Chains A and B, each alone.
Chain A
Amino acid sequence: MKEPEAFLPLSQATYYILLSLRHVRHGYGIMKDVEEISNGEVTMGPGTLYGALSKLEKQQIIQKAAVDSDARRKYYSLTDLGKDVLQKEYLRLESLVNNASGIISELEGGESGY
């Protein structure tokens, strides 16, 4: 099996899809949740979503989940690999921000100086 690092960096769409799959959800459920957790910044089209789900399932980052009450929709959840990938991406993003924070405040300080 591939190392989780091999899938990084994630695209913005993929990152949010994986975040939304902290709970079992179907396609449209993912779209609504992504809109919510991104504070309306990310609205995903159904083509983008469907393509991403097929790819993530093939990469075994997500898996189908059985939900008996709804035969028409497919439900998904994160695999162990998927959880790992998401955590590693989070740490990567966090260190990107941390490494820059001193530099950015320096820039801001410079601007207010004149």
Chain B
Amino acid sequence: MAIRKFRLFLASGMGKEERWLTELSAKGLHMEKFKLGLYTFEEDKSKSYVYQIDFQHRTSEDYFQVFEDAGWEHVTGWADMFQYFRTDASRAGVKKIYSDRESVMESYKRMMRVYLFIFSILILSQVPIWLMWDGHFLDVSVTVLSTLVILLYVYMLLALRRKIRFYERNE
């Protein structure tokens, strides 16, 4: 039976999301699909998986093949950026898709570049509204909404920068 749960994670909180999915899987709920904060789980008490998410916008057949060969099943992808993988929790060996600090840092840097790009488009898209401001209800509501989104992005970019600095210091 499919069970749905709604939950929002920021991209910078990918580690939390991985732990959440892995913990649920240990209780018998295995994530199968994801769409806009809505997770779909299959229930099966006999299994347990470790979930890992890869931020990767340059995927290819070969990319998925490398993961599959290494024992990681591709569960689903989101927005062509987030790839969800899982492996049997009882399988021997490393259960992380990034095995050293340097490559974890690289993946956060990739994420930072993509989100800075999206962020700048977001800002640019607001410029016409600011330029032609005439105080209409629509102007006000769009601006309130976009300001909230911009603040969320700023928060996330700062969190990402903190993570990257942490790994740079500890290299």
Contact = CB atoms under 8 A, between A and B. Distances in A.
Interface of A: 11-13, 26-28, 31, 43-52, 54-55, 72-74
Contacts of B100: 11-13, 48
Contacts, number: 71
Given A12-B100, A50-B56, 11 more contacts: A11-B102, A27-B65, A43-B94, A45-B70, A47-B52, A47-B97, A49-B70, A50-B67, A51-B103, A72-B61, A73-B62
Contacts of A12: 100
Given A28-B70, A31-B70, A51-B107, A45 B99 contact: yes
10 contacts: A28-B69, A31-B70, A43-B94, A44-B99, A45-B99, A48-B98, A51-B103, A51-B107, A52-B103, A73-B69
A43 B91 CA distance: 14
Task: Pick the 3 closest A-B CB pairs, nearest first.
Answer: A28-B69, A47-B97, A27-B66
A3 to B, nearest CB: 22
A36 B56 CA distance: 28
A46 B103 contact: no
A44 B66 CA distance: 12
A46 B58 contact: no
A13 B62 contact: no
A109 to B, nearest CB: 33
Nearest to A64: B62
